[in-house]
Structure 1
Amino acid sequence: MGKVGTFGYIFMKDKEKKFSRTEAPHKSAQMVEAIYGCKWSLTVYQLLARGINRPGEMVRSVEGLTTKVLNQCLKRNIEFGILERVSYNEVPPRVEYKVTVFGEKFMEILDELEKLQRAIEKQI
């Protein structure tokens, strides 16, 4: 087999170029599904955009949000690299969450999905 180059071309010795099969982006698709499937992630992003970045304040700000569910949501977002946990060495302990650079890019994609949804709804 030949060497795979840019854009999926396979370079064969003294032969023509062929395309390799393109596959769906598994990891990014799973990430979008997990985040969009979690009804609280989008709410957490809205809270962070409004400057509410401490877990206790988040729970108090949203009816129906529990500490357990929030912690699961935050953990998932940290694992994906969307959010970052910042711990301060204070008494009492203080923890805040912020959006990473990657998280900002990811949220732009979610905004585009929302625009697409509105366009689809207008057509119906």
Structure 2
Amino acid sequence: MQKHDALFSKKSAPERSARMVETIYGCKWSLTVYQLLANGINRPGAMVNHVEGLTTKVLNQCLKRNVEFGILDRVTFSEIPPRVEYQVTSFGQKFLRILDELEKLQQELDANDS
């Protein structure tokens, strides 16, 4: 038998993006925050007021994680009283499309199980 040259190298999961998806889906509130932003609710106080059970502490942790990943951008206005708003970055738009596709896949799987 003749040894064949390897045509393909071992494929592994994309480390950073896979961890990002896992972290975002693992956060109970991230998807809700994206929904709020899509509906024009971009100030933390308003977010807390619009979602039952969401606390300021948990929201701030969620927002911070999303800013660190580059999904959201924190915009600070130099006003008195201080005002902070969040917006989805261009990278975040791409990432949210991937999450939408995952949700569609889950709906397809759920429909096939019925």
Deviations 1:24-68 (A, max 9, x none): 101111100000111100000000000000000000110000000
Q: Secondary structure at the match of 2:29?
A: helix
Equivalent residue number for residue 55 of structure 2: 66
Deviation, structure 1 residue 20: 2.4
TM-score calculated relative to the size of structure 2: 0.92
Counterpart secondary structure, 1:91: coil
Question: 1:56 matched to which residue of 2?
Answer: 45
Runs of 4+ in 1 over 6 A off after TM superposition: none
- Report the counterpart of residue 103 of structure 1 in structure 2: 92
Output the CA distance in 1 between the equivalents of 2:12 and 2:89: 27
Q: Which residue of 1 aligns with 2:75?
A: 86
2:21 is matched with which residue?
32
Unaligned runs of 5+ in 2: none
Shift of 1:18: 4.0
Amino acid at match of 2:61: Q
CA RMSD in angstroms comes to 1.1
TM-score, normalisation: structure 1: 0.85
Question: Which of these two proteins has the greater Rg computed from alpha carbons?
Answer: 1
- In structure 1, list runs of 5 or more residues that go unmatched: 1-15
Amino-acid identity (%): 71
